[in-house]
Amino acid sequence: MQIIIVGCGKVGSVLAEQLCREENNVTVLDVKSERVEHLVNELDIMGYIGSGISFDTLMEAGVKKADLLIAVTHSDELNLMCCLIARKAGNCQTIARVRNPEYNKEADFLKKELGLSMIINPELAAANEISRVLRLPSAIDVEVFAKGRLEILKFRVKAGSPLCNLSVQEMAAKVSGDILVCVVERSDTVTIPNGMFVLQEKDYVYVAGTPKSTAEFFKKIGIEANPVRNLMIVGGGKISYYLAQILLAAGTDVRIIEQDAASCDMLSQLIPEATIIHGNGTDKALLMEEGLDGMDAFASLTGIDEENIFLSLYVKTQSDIKTITKINRISFDEVIANLDLDTVIYPKDITAEYIIRYVRALGNSIGSNVETMHRIAGGKVEALEFIIRENAPVVNVPLMDLDLKDDILIACIQRDGKIILPRGNDSMQVGDTAVVITTRNGLRDIRDILGKRRVG
């Protein structure tokens, strides 16, 4: 596909890299020449220096031939205007990043009136992801499929766990209940395990199941499965605002520490049910004074990555509560993975996933399309939900007879609202949705899971 990205900041750079990896023809556009030059040299793509609301610049960048324009500059208004001009000048699909809470309330109206294909709000998407994790705080990560009927949860096998030294097959017989082990991370190795794979202490394990079955599984292996009752947040930005709204509606007590007085006043007006504290969240005495030792969870959501990391590490020395750490800029994933952090949130990556899912759906064949996509295990594994169409070559074929490519797992089939954790005799039917786990990148259609023998 021909794709133009307007805005080469953190999100734009991630998008350019990942869309190039998916074999799209990407052109970038930004007013800052150093940003454009960096991506052009790094990715060997076309780049233009100029404003996304300049008709001449967009024409020079090839908007008339573009299939999609993605506007992710720092300005909501510029993004919306850029998409409007692109629709009029080139009639391409458009995606705008819109972060202002006031605009978020009018998202459906803006999308319809401006002809947008998608509006993406990174902070709201991150807040939704955090809220899912806090519902089951022992999970490090929670990904949702089949309209919330299926979850894939990540947790760590700790010392003394009944899972230590059990094979996946033994686990299924002894403690699993109605769940499926999808992926195991061990050091730098990621595995889609078979029944003989033996779990070890410090493994990160991903399991799939319904919300009820995963909660029951956690209880069986001695892990706390109750949602958090209260949360302390340091940093009063947009993610904190959206997260507080979500949690307060669910009955969770929220306490926000913010050092900017004007931001505190605004938050007090927007979310009066939350407790807003004006102070420095890095002040250890203030954290204890405001009840850190009585909290179920702690989220460090300031605008400084290093501050968020050190805050979460400090909290872990004081208590065994759940920690959430927001990281925007730091790319030392190997170092961060070895720190004693619970859930780490990367808003730019969440945004990229939403957009790449849409791009794949645009380019799908008629057999199926990508409904949901999440990258897990540090981006080494994709979990994709496909809708099964009438002419898909997998229809009515028992899974045991499918010629699946290596490193492919059918984790779930949803049929008429019912979740099926499939066995060899099960098959996919027209109208089903199927969740596929794979270490392969770029699956766009359900037929991409098959070897040559069954592709027709």
Q: Delimit the domains of the chain by residue range.
A: 2-120, 135-220, 230-345, 355-454
pLDDT of the residue at 229: 94
How high is the pLDDT of residue 102?
82
Model pLDDT, residue 224:
73
Greatest pairwise CA separation for the chain in angstroms: 66
pLDDT of residue 176: 62
- Output the pLDDT for position 364: 59
Averaged pLDDT in 10-residue chunks for the chain of 456 residues: 94 92 92 96 95 94 94 95 91 91 83 90 92 88 88 91 92 81 92 94 93 88 84 96 95 96 96 96 94 94 94 91 89 73 89 85 63 85 90 92 92 93 92 94 87 58
pLDDT at 322: 93
Res 335: pLDDT = 76
Class of domain 230-345: alpha beta
Which pLDDT score, from 0 to 100, does residue 221 have? 86
| pLDDT of the residue at 363 | 66
> Degrees (nearest 5) of the Cα angle 195, 201, 202?
105
| Fold match between domain 135-220 and domain 230-345 | no
Q: What is the pLDDT of residue 452?
A: 66
Res 314: pLDDT: 94
State the Cα–Cα distance between residues 122 and 141, nearest whole angstrom: 17
Which one is the CATH code of 355-454: 3.30.70.1450, 3.40.50.2300, 3.40.190.290, 3.40.50.10680? 3.30.70.1450
Class of domain 2-120: alpha beta
- The predicted pLDDT at position 453 comes to 55
Could you say which architecture CATH assigns to the domain 135-220? 2-Layer Sandwich (3.30)
Q: Determine the Cα–Cα distance for residues 40 and 119; give it in Å rounded to an integer.
A: 26
Q: For position 101, what pLDDT does the model report?
A: 82
pLDDT number for residue 331 = 67
Q: What is the pLDDT of residue 281?
A: 94
